[in-house]
Structure 1
Amino acid sequence: MRTADHEVVIVGAGFSGIGTSIRLTQAGIHDHLLVEEGDDVGGTWYWNTYPGVAVDIPSFSYQFSFERRTDWSRIYAPGKELRAYADDIATKHGVRAKTRFGTRITGATFDEDVHLWRLETSAGDEITARFVVGATGVLTQPKPPEIEGLSSFGGTTIHTARWDHSVDLRGKRVAVIGTGASAVQLIPEIATEVEHLTVFQRTPIWCLPKPDGPLPGAVKWLMGKIPGGDLAARAASQAFVEITFPLAAHYSAVVPFGKLGEKAGLRALQEVRDPEVREKLTPKYAVGCKRPSFHNSYLQTFNRENVLLETDPIARITKTGVRTEAGTLHKIDVLILATGFKVFEHGNMPPFRVTGRDGLDLEAFWDEHRFQAYEGISVPGFPNFFIVLGPYGYNGSSYFNLIETQTRHILRVLKRARAEGATAAEVRREANDRYFHAMLARRGGQIFWQDSCAVANSYYFDAHGDVPFRPAPTIETVWRSLRFDLDDYAYTRAPVTADEPVGAAA
């Protein structure tokens, strides 16, 4: 019988894939392969290079605990520095040597007879693996708007997630569709160079002041030289992040950040001079219903004479521009789609077809039973398949905390399988159900269930009306990754196999 090509295949070489690879290597599981669609590591920071792209939490939290950096140029680092950080740690830990670039996984099927995953690739070949880790994240698949005539536009069209640096916007008439996080960063950057900018807004966004600024060299020097200086900066950053999202979102009655945020947002809106424009920019839903943005010049951009905010719905896109329902035609040269990503839509969760035991399709399972995964990682019926950013895994803290928490969980399961000589580890249905019902029972205190959220058009909500965030403080997610019951998984051996026991070659 053919053995697996690799013990573990990691799908994606963004920070989730990089972190998983590092932890596997440190645990002695060297036989693993990363498969990455892009030509290099970085994930989000490889694909997103639009003007103004930056991290939206303090940089001291947006990094691995075991690879701390103190030389960020700003409190909120620009995208190029995050890309450089990914490059550096991938080089240091030999991740590139384990990565197959320029390849997309298009399907995964579990072979029950031999307990292997058979992975189909965009190159037309097959890779087999004992275990698979989905590390593709959710903000990876660009979501073009469903607007009539989009393909008929005669000028240049760019999506923010696939920026074309060969396009010169100077002196051009430009339109931006969308006012989400990417648009908030992009719009102030390009408004100063274009001839005219029209921003098409469907739903206004809460834009809060950003506690950002350059990090003086003396501060960076002190953090690097004083014992524990970098840890103190990280602790302060972590506390800020915890208060402003995990605690505020999941315990809104106890931590009233939403109300404080709304006051700060309304004060910031006063910087918009035109009262009619200010009213259009004012959200009609509470802070927290959808992802707020943090920026110190986005709102003021609408004071510029060459910037127009258009809130009349788009009827269609023509060869020369964008026509609204009222009949106004905005003639443009460049159309920028700041319309975000697929999140809970088909084709992204998961981003490739996954077929488990008895032909069970993961997307169909979630359609029927709602999004769910034990500890945000494993789904019954899909042995040896783990997801770094699965439903009810992310609590709103730093993605790096999520990566470290989930990889710790995965490694505990792999080590248990190794100890038992098992070729399959599958979460028990009763354990998954227990976790799912516990998550639902906690959501009453979350900020997302305010009445005004109905008009927010938030990607937080899936097709079932759920918000699959993990309602827990960060310390609980860490503790659970260390203490969850390993017997919540069933460990079995393939009926016919020529493989050595799990990890025997490590």
Structure 2
Amino acid sequence: MDDFLSEPGPRKAVPQKQLQIAILGTGMGGLCMAIQLRRAGIDSFVILEKEADIGGTWRDNVYPGSGCDVPSHLYSFSFEPKLDWSRKFALQPEILDYMQHVTRKYGLRPFIRFNTEVEEARFDEAAGLWRIRTKAGDEITANVVVSGTGQLNRPFYPTLQGVENFAGKAFHSARWDKSVDLAGKNVAVIGNGASAIQFVPEIAPKAKKLSIFQRSANWIVPKADRPYTEREKEMFRRFPFLVKLHRLQIYLMLELNYLAFVRGSFFGKLFEKAGTNAMEEHVKDAELRKKLTPDYPAGCKRILLSNDWFPTMARKNVAVETNHIAKVTSDAIVTEDGVSHPTDVIIYATGFEATHLLAPMKIVGRNNLDLNTVWAHGAEAHRGIAVAGFPNFFMLYGPNTNLGHNSIIFMIECQVNYIMQCLEALKSPKVRYIDVKKSAEDEYNRDLQADMQKTVWAAGCSSWYKTADGKVTNNWSSFTMKYWWQMRHPDFGEYAVVG
């Protein structure tokens, strides 16, 4: 460890310097970071939010049926439990209300600059400062930058021939157009992932015809969802320790689900069996079953939870199209088999640009090192949080910290705890910045990618978890308990500490 942080023998107390901290985004990550700063008595920070209100993905995804596939009591901060969740899997309005609640309780709004989109953050090595430029042309300086923009914030739109000639309405599920009335319309949904399985059952009864253009089938298993009873909520309010026990029970149950993502796992076969049974119960047509049956192991793509997807697929006004889209005309989608599908509304359920983390922001570190260049062959970071050459820059929900089996809130809290300890080191007047060593970052990622080969995420199917050349850039490769163990304390021997 550098002598700046470990000097032998007795020493005089040195006044700590006040850090200026910039947080990017007001999703769960950004709010968690800001709350812990306030709890630690640190008020010298600003949160830069490109939109007019807080919420991140839960502000943006307002499509019908929008909700979380992690149980409510685990999809909340451990230090700020909500005792009266209405159901086991909360819907978007209740999650956003929770985020508004913590924002009010911890007095975060005065620290937020809304409608402030970051265009560039550039590190000034001589001053040991980040110089942040907004799209409006303002400059903000900070000792530390913490990105809370996450992985799922930029909608992905496929390139479709002729789409510019379409005369109807078209929008992405993450930019839902509430002004469009779908009643009696021919609706085309492009994609069938996590968003589609939530909104399609909601809009199918309204549409004249609903055509789902599917690239590949998903493993979909029943969702153990139900409302909490009034008695249960009353018990949680009277005995808050029961919430902690309930949260722990959920965590351990989900943690065991990781075993289903190990290649060749018996537990993975159980997921496949559950999905197959649910489909066979509701879908009687053999040809439709064939379309809805995945040709890859469960977990290679995201496993989805739904109780009403398969009943919706069996509706007479719903069609699953597996032929690729050839072109879009003014009033139809034409597939490669030459069939024209009359279309009044197109809804893109095509996910996000998940492997292009932090884009379109330009992040420039030491020696004019551009993060987009560093990540040209896929994003990676030390412990998912720091990148060599980018001092005092930290990410929440960064590369290889997404989960297929547990709550991202757990990962975010591990990361915030780690960053808070780094800030303590940076408060020393002898420390200008810390920069993770390239050797430490490379060793960490070699081990992580070796672990990844044991999982179904590295199997042959394509998914948003990985780049076009097959590198898994999004998911964590093991149990979350392993990540927690690694993130308990920073090892400053892995960092260059510059004074």
One fold, TM greater than 0.5? yes
Q: Kindly indicate whether residue 321 of structure 2 is the aligned counterpart of residue 315 of structure 1.
A: no
Identify the range of structure 1 (150-159 vs 432-441) with the bigger mean alpha-carbon deviation. 432-441
Structure 1: how far apart are the matches of 2:391 and 2:476? 22
| Alignment map for 1:125-204 (pairs within 5 Å) | 125-204=138-217
Report the alpha carbon displacement of residue 113 of structure 1 after superposing the two structures with TM. Answer: 1.6
Alignment partner for residue 115 of structure 2, among 96, 99, 102?
102
Q: Kindly indicate whether residue 267 of structure 2 is the aligned counterpart of residue 257 of structure 1.
A: yes
Check the 8 A contact 2:422/2:490 in 1, yes or no: no
Report the alpha carbon displacement of residue 483 of structure 1 after superposing the two structures with TM. Answer: 3.1
Q: Secondary structure at the match of 1:236?
A: helix
Instruction: Identify the residue that residue 260 of structure 2 maps to in structure 1.
Output: 248
Letter in 2 for 1:376: G
Letter in 1 for 2:309: Y
Instruction: Identify the residue that residue 471 of structure 1 maps to in structure 2.
Output: 477
Alignment partner for residue 374 of structure 1, among 382, 390, 415?
382
Instruction: Identify the residue that residue 324 of structure 1 maps to in structure 2.
Output: 335
Report the alpha carbon displacement of residue 445 of structure 1 after superposing the two structures with TM. Answer: 2.1
Check the 8 A contact 1:417/1:425 in 2, yes or no: yes
Report how many residues are paired.
Answer: 480
Identify the range of structure 1 (356-365 vs 461-470) with the bigger mean alpha-carbon deviation. 461-470
**1:46-78 CA distance string (max 9 Å, x none):** 000000101011111101000111211110001
Check the 8 A contact 1:6/1:128 in 2, yes or no: no
Distance 1:325 1:384, change over 3 A: same
Distance 1:464 1:425, change over 3 A: farther
Structure 2: how far apart are the matches of 1:485 and 1:145? 43
Q: Secondary structure at the match of 2:247?
A: helix
**1:447-487 CA distance string (max 9 Å, x none):** 2234xxx2x33111223422132223222222222234123
Check the 8 A contact 1:417/1:491 in 2, yes or no: no
Structure 2: how far apart are the matches of 1:332 and 1:6? 55
Instruction: Identify the residue that residue 71 of structure 2 maps to in structure 1.
Output: 58
- Alpha-carbon RMSD: 1.8
Q: Secondary structure at the match of 1:166?
A: coil
Q: Secondary structure at the match of 2:68?
A: coil
Check the 8 A contact 1:350/1:362 in 2, yes or no: no
Instruction: Identify the residue that residue 502 of structure 1 maps to in structure 2.
Output: none
Check the 8 A contact 2:458/2:472 in 1, yes or no: no
Structure 1: how far apart are the matches of 2:130 and 2:259? 38
Q: Kindly indicate whether residue 488 of structure 2 is the aligned counterpart of residue 490 of structure 1.
A: no
Check the 8 A contact 2:18/2:427 in 1, yes or no: no
Q: TM-score, normalised by structure 2?
A: 0.93
Alignment partner for residue 368 of structure 2, among 340, 344, 359?
359
Q: Secondary structure at the match of 2:428?
A: helix
Check the 8 A contact 1:6/1:33 in 2, yes or no: no
Query: Which ranges of structure 1 fall in alignment gaps of 5 or more residues?
Result: 494-506
Letter in 2 for 1:492: V
Structure 2: how far apart are the matches of 1:164 and 1:198? 19
Distance 1:141 1:26, change over 3 A: same
Q: TM-score, normalised by structure 1?
A: 0.91
Distance 1:486 1:6, change over 3 A: closer
Query: Which ranges of structure 2 fall in alignment gaps of 5 or more residues?
Result: 1-16
Instruction: Identify the residue that residue 501 of structure 1 maps to in structure 2.
Output: none
Alignment partner for residue 423 of structure 1, among 432, 455, 458?
432
Instruction: Identify the residue that residue 285 of structure 1 maps to in structure 2.
Output: 296
Check the 8 A contact 1:344/1:463 in 2, yes or no: no
Identify the range of structure 1 (321-330 vs 13-22) with the bigger mean alpha-carbon deviation. 321-330
| Alignment map for 1:28-43 (pairs within 5 Å) | 28-43=41-56
Q: Kindly indicate whether residue 243 of structure 2 is the aligned counterpart of residue 230 of structure 1.
A: yes
Distance 1:135 1:41, change over 3 A: same
Letter in 2 for 1:273: K
Structure 2: how far apart are the matches of 1:327 and 1:443? 41
Q: Kindly indicate whether residue 277 of structure 2 is the aligned counterpart of residue 267 of structure 1.
A: yes
Structure 2: how far apart are the matches of 1:330 and 1:408? 52
Structure 1: how far apart are the matches of 2:469 and 2:359? 16
Report the alpha carbon displacement of residue 349 of structure 1 after superposing the two structures with TM. Answer: 4.1
Check the 8 A contact 2:212/2:319 in 1, yes or no: yes
Q: Kindly indicate whether residue 362 of structure 2 is the aligned counterpart of residue 387 of structure 1.
A: no
Instruction: Identify the residue that residue 304 of structure 1 maps to in structure 2.
Output: 315
Report the alpha carbon displacement of residue 400 of structure 1 after superposing the two structures with TM. Answer: 0.7
Q: Secondary structure at the match of 2:440?
A: helix
Report the alpha carbon displacement of residue 11 of structure 1 after superposing the two structures with TM. Answer: 0.7
